[in-house]
Structures are given as C-alpha cells and as structure tokens.
Chains A and B, each alone.
Chain A
Amino acid sequence: MTNTKHNLTSCLLRLVVAGGGVLLFSSQAAFASEASGVTNAAAPGGLLEAALFYFVALVAVVSSLGVCFSKDIVRMAVWLFGALGSVAVMYFLLAANFLGAIQLIVYAGGTLILLVFGVMLTSKSPWVKFECPKIEMLFAGIICAALLGCLCIVLTDATWAGTMQVVPGASVEAIGKILITKYLVPFEVAGVLLMIVMVGAAHLARQDD
C-alpha cells in the first residue's frame, strides 16, 4: 500500500516538474521577447543573451520531459540535474547571481546527490526501474493537466511589467539584511522546520533499538 502511494506521489512530482519547466519556459520567453524588443542601449538583454536564454529554456524543457519519461531512477536524477542547472543559468541570466549560486548548492549539489546516494544505498538490483500502473498515470496526468491549465490561465491573465532593469541595490548584503529583519520569522520558521526534519529522520533511523 505504501509503495503505491509512493509511486503516485512520485508520478505527480514528475509531472509537476515538467509543468513547471513548460511554465518557466513560457514565462521567461514572454519576458525575453519584451526585453529584446527594446532598442535603447540600456536594454538588459543583447542578442547573445537572448540566444543563450532560448537554449537554456530548451534544455530545461527537454530535461523536465526526460525526468517524466525516463524509467531508470539514476537517469531521472541526471535529467533533473539538467532542469535544475538550466534554471540556475536562467537566474544568472536575470542577474540574480545569489539565487543562481544557491540553486546550484542546494538543489544541484545537495538534493540530487542525496537522491542518487539514497538509490545506491537502497537498490537491490543494479538497474532500479521505476514503473507505475497505467491508472495512476491517468490520475496523475489529469491532475497535472488541470494544474498546468490553471498556471497557463494565470500566465495569460497576468500583466507583465515589460522591460525590467537590474535593481542596483539587490545585492547579497541587501538579501541578508532583509532575511534577518523583515522576513526574520519565516526564515526562523524554515530553520525550525528543517530542524524537525533532522530530528524526525534521526528518530526513524534509530527506531529499531
């Protein structure tokens, strides 16, 4: 029973990642087309940046689809790296350097490694295949299609700000100051949540004593 549940959640997760990739692609495409249409010299994006953006967006979408359609869990992790890494590159393209570096450390360098590590520790056969029943695929597909539809509606209904300038004050110092003044409570709550996760994991790991 737990196995099925796990499968369903994973399916959902995979489709959400794919939907997110498509969403990212379309939203960023809208942003980039707005930005590159401006001819003044202070436009944030040049021709090369636009080309790089489209390339990275393509990588994001293709690797998100790869996560969905791959059967091997380790290969899924590699596809996921493609998606996460290209999102990090997008952050760098948008001059959000801090976010890009954190994306690399937390997702690409941390989460993915733990994922592969978990597979290596728990797998009983050399190639762990991931199969889920057709009916689950159907349910997950319906839910994700609905989600994607909602996101697309939001995307088309939103009014986009047009040309964005790089905010001069948005440096690491500013982010740090905001995190420990204005957003102190959410920051601490997130920390406590991670602490709870650690305690819970330790408890689960030691329950056979």
Chain B
Amino acid sequence: MRILLWKLWMGYRIFGPIIELLMAMFRPFAVAMYRMGGPIVAQMAGMILISAVVAVCVGVWAHAMLFGFVDESILATAASAGVELTGAFSYVSPATWGLTPSQIAVQLQQVGGVAANMSGVAQYLLWPVQFGIVRDLVGLGALMGLFNIIPVYTIWWERKVAGRIQSRLGPMRVGGWHGWSQSPADGIKLLLKEDLIPDGADAPLFRLAPYFNIIPSALAFVALPFGATYVFRELDVALIFILGVLGVEVLGVMLAGWASNNKWSVYGAMREACQMVSYEIPLGMALLLPVVTTGTLNLTKIVDAQSGGWFHWLVFSSPFAFIGFIAFFVASLASCKRAPFDLPEAESELVAGFLTEYSGIRWSFFFFAEYAAMFVVCGLAAILFLGGWHSPLPASWGAALGDAWYARGVKGLLFSGPVWFVAKCVFLLYVQIWIRWTLPRIRIDQVLYACVQVLLPLTMLMLLGTTVWVWASTSECETWAMVTAITRYVLGGIGLMFAFAFPAIAAYGFYHRRAMVGNLVQDAMPGS
C-alpha cells in the first residue's frame, strides 16, 4: 500500500483539529437529530421519498415557469418597447448589464396582478434571472443533481427487480420502505472508505481513469433533451455528440484495467475494448435510421417529427425501423456493459474485471458512470424511436383542449412533457435490468459473433432498407402512401399488443407472487 506522508500530514495537522472541533460541536446535535428524526423516517419513509420526488418535479417546473415569465413578460416586452437589451442573453458584455431593477419594476407594473403588487421585491429577485450565466448555473446544478440521483435510484430499482425475479429478500430487510435508503447509505459508505492504490499500479493513471469514465457520461446529459424546452444546450449535432462522449468512456475502463497492473483487470479492459470497438458500429448504424428518416441530428427536431401519438413514433414508421430499434437496444446493452454483455466485470470469472483494484469513491465513480450511461442510452432510444416526450395519446385530443392555463397543464401531463420522457426511460431501464437478472452471460466469442455476423449485417440491411423507404416516401405515389399507412398501423398494432400484454403478464405474476418461482414457471408452462 502506498501511503503518501504529506497527505497524512495535511490531514492530521491542518484539517484534523478543525474537523475535530466541528465534530465536537455537531456531534450532540447530530445524535439529537437522529433520535428525533429516526423514528419519523422509519415510520414515514415512503411518504418522505414520494414528497421528495414531487418536490423535485415542482422545482423543475417552477424554474421553467420563472424563466419563461422573465423571457416573455419582461425581456420580450421591454425589447418591443425599445429598451436596449444588449447583453441580456449573452454572458458578459462590456456595454450594459441588461435591464436594471427599476426597468424590471416598470415591466412588472405592465404585467399587472400579483406581479405588480410584488414588484418592490420581485425587481431585485428577478434581476439575476435575465442573465445567461445565472440560468446556466441553475441548469448545471439541476444536471449535476440529476446525474447523482439517477444512478442512486437506478441501483435501488435494480435491487428491487432482482429481488422480485430471483426471490432475494434484501430490499425488504433494511433501509426503510422497500429498502429505498440503501443506496444513499451505500454512497456515504463509499465516500468514507479508504482509497487504496496498489503498489505496482501506475498511480497517476489509476487515479485518472475514473474521471475518464464519469466526466463523459455527465457530459452526455448536456445535450440530452428531457422535453421541448428542458435541455441544457440544444446542439445541432446532439446525437453524434452523445455518441462521441460515450465512446470516450471506454478509454476510462481501458486505462483502469491497464493501470491496475492486475491480470484480471487487464482481461476486463481487453474484453471491454473488443466489445466496445465492435458494438459501436452496429450502434451507430442503428442510430442512423432515425437520422435518415428525419434528416437531422438535432434530437429535439427528431422528436418533433414524431408528434401525433402512438402510430407516429419512428419505431412504427417502417419494418426496418422496427427491427433497427431492437438491434439498437441490443447494441446499447453491450455499450453499457450490461448483462448478457457484462464481460468486462464478469464477477464469476474475473473477480470484478477492471474494477478489481478499485475501492471507495473511485469505485463508485465507475458505477455512477455506468448507470448514468444506461439512462442516456435509454433516453436516446426513447428520443429516436419511441416518440421522446410525446405521449401515446393522439395530439388532436390535446389540441381540442384549447390554450387556457389549466389546458396547458393537462397537455404537459397527458400529451407531451418531460414526465413521458422519464417514464419511457424508466421502462427501458426496467427492461435492461430485467434482461440482466434473467439471461446468463455469454462468452466473448459469442459476443463478437453476435456483433460481427448478426447485428452488423442486420443493421446494414436495415439502413439500406430505410434509405430506400425514405426515398420511396418522397414520391407522390398514392399506392405507396397507402402502403406506408398500412405498415404504420400494422406495426403500431403489434406494438399495442406488446404494450397491453406486458402489464397483463406482469399482473399475472403479481397475482401469483406468493408462489415459489419454480411453481410459477411450471404452472405457466404449456401442458401443465
């Protein structure tokens, strides 16, 4: 073990007394808080979790409303009234700092109602919101919060699903309501664990590798839209930007394996490299199908092309897209190193693969990156093929509601809003977890066979087919229009069958949940 003396010195001589003092001050307070809060948390764990989720949703919605209000009612009206707005939307401009508080107050008076009555305070509260940099800081805070919350609760979700599928009792034993606080507790444990670096490791690379993993997967969220306006940066090349940053993630895994100087780690890294380099090609090919169909790399525009309800989703647009979606999903499993493609960390063969030598916070960085990347590829699948943030309900029903404030709310909840995007992502995440706990791991030669000899030719054919399909759709031929409509409804019907069969089968399983797993399988088998 390599213990760096200067670090210990810094820790004990400088920060040690300060930390001791703070702990002496806060220890009784923390114990009292625990004694008071513990029973409440244990009693109302589910309520606390649900209210936290609702609070986050309300927070996101409120900040979007606030930014929209400032843009529409203050900045736009001020600009139309001839007030000079230089620099209000850009970062720093030497000429002016946007509207002054008194100018904002004038605009608030024009808005009237509550805004006018509150303008004395609101002018100062709203003043910073007009600057791009303030909004970006808010957005970055939201992104980082999301990036931290998604892995923590996907891991909980994974434990719950694993518990259901494999009759594991863990989540029900500790951690409050269905074990929801196990993941935060894990996080605290990992923060406090010792960060070991093996003697023989290449220390700088060993330290650096987790960042090569976690930073790209955080960067992917920059361009991933959650709704028509819920996107940090709407890039015109968002799709290949996400593909590019997720490709960099492989480098982190390889460096981790190499720098650990451990044969298991190197094997894991080699497998990761083999798998990723080969699966990136079918993944990219499958990503091209929606691009060819919609003619853009901008994710928001790709989703806009799919508005109008269930039958307008790209996955049902042609048989090629339908098969391409399945190919994309398989390739995305491989690119996130999820079972049955989890060879880089195969616990039963390689100890923990490239993670063998890691501990503490660096180990958790890899898992944060993995689960965040899972969410990102699920988000891509939802955006590219499953209509993004549009609901399956026909858009014409939403249009019939009108444009009143409550109608906008209903539309946001029922017809198109971030809630649908998150729901689709969560469903796809569920499918990924379901596959992991159901299928056995396949061998590396099978992995490469599946890629090079099955997926790659398949996606190439699908790309060719989609190209021809799109080319044929540009013609004005009426027969062809009928063919596309029939295809759309037939494929959409197949999708609907799946959509209804899934909850039905799940309900059957839930109804028989007390049965032993073996009995359930035997009873459901034909001829039993």
| Sample (15) of A-B pairs whose CB atoms are under 8 Å apart | A41-B90, A81-B248, A85-B248, A101-B235, A101-B237, A102-B244, A109-B244, A109-B247, A113-B254, A116-B258, A117-B254, A120-B270, A120-B273, A126-B200, A172-B237
Quick check: B240 and A105 within 8 Å, CB to CB?
A: yes
Complex Cα gap A116–B256 (Å)? 12
Q: Is A72 an interface residue (CB 8 A)?
A: yes
Complex Cα gap A121–B273 (Å)? 11
- Taking CB atoms, residues of chain B closer than 8 Å to A100 are 237, 241
One digit per residue, 1 when the CB lies within 8 angstroms of any chain A CB and 0 when it does not, for chain B 373-411 equals 000000000000000000000000000000000000000
Quick check: B202 and A101 within 8 Å, CB to CB?
A: no
Once A110-B247, A127-B202 are accepted as A-B contacts, the answer to whether A74 and B92 lie under 8 Å apart by CB is no
Quick check: B277 and A117 within 8 Å, CB to CB?
A: yes
One digit per residue, 1 when the CB lies within 8 angstroms of any chain B CB and 0 when it does not, for chain A 85-109 equals 1000000000001101110110011
What residues of chain A have their CB less than 8 Å away from a CB belonging to chain B? 39, 41, 46-49, 72, 74-75, 78, 81, 85, 97-98, 100-102, 104-105, 108-110, 112-114, 116-117, 119-121, 126-127, 171-173
Quick check: A48 and B92 within 8 Å, CB to CB?
A: yes
Complex Cα gap A124–B266 (Å)? 13
Quick check: B276 and A47 within 8 Å, CB to CB?
A: no
Q: Is B163 an interface residue (CB 8 A)?
A: no
- Taking CB atoms, residues of chain B closer than 8 Å to A171 are 236
Quick check: A48 and B269 within 8 Å, CB to CB?
A: no
What residues of chain B have their CB less than 8 Å away from a CB belonging to chain A? 86-87, 90-95, 133, 200, 202, 204-205, 208, 212, 235-237, 240-241, 243-245, 247-248, 250-251, 254-255, 257-259, 261, 266, 269-270, 273, 276-277, 280, 295-297
Quick check: B244 and A108 within 8 Å, CB to CB?
A: yes
Complex Cα gap A121–B257 (Å)? 13
Quick check: B95 and A120 within 8 Å, CB to CB?
A: no
Residue from B208, B240, B247, B270 within 8 A of A78 (CB atoms):
B208
| Closest Cβ–Cβ distance, residue A91 to chain B (whole Å) | 11
Quick check: A75 and B247 within 8 Å, CB to CB?
A: no
- Taking CB atoms, residues of chain A closer than 8 Å to B204 are 75
Quick check: A46 and B91 within 8 Å, CB to CB?
A: yes
Quick check: B241 and A114 within 8 Å, CB to CB?
A: no
User: Looking at B200, B237, B245, which has the most chain A CB atoms within 10 Å of its CB?
Assistant: B237
| Closest Cβ–Cβ distance, residue A166 to chain B (whole Å) | 12
Quick check: B296 and A101 within 8 Å, CB to CB?
A: no
Quick check: A116 and B244 within 8 Å, CB to CB?
A: no
Complex Cα gap A78–B256 (Å)? 12
Quick check: B240 and A72 within 8 Å, CB to CB?
A: no
Quick check: B255 and A116 within 8 Å, CB to CB?
A: yes
Quick check: B205 and A78 within 8 Å, CB to CB?
A: yes
User: Looking at A85, A110, A172, which has the most chain B CB atoms within 10 Å of its CB?
Assistant: A172
Residue from A72, A101, A117 within 8 A of B241 (CB atoms):
A101
Quick check: A41 and B273 within 8 Å, CB to CB?
A: no
Quick check: B236 and A78 within 8 Å, CB to CB?
A: no
Quick check: A121 and B270 within 8 Å, CB to CB?
A: yes
Quick check: B254 and A120 within 8 Å, CB to CB?
A: yes
- Taking CB atoms, residues of chain A closer than 8 Å to B295 are 173
Residue from B95, B133, B248, B273 within 8 A of A104 (CB atoms):
B248
Quick check: A97 and B251 within 8 Å, CB to CB?
A: no
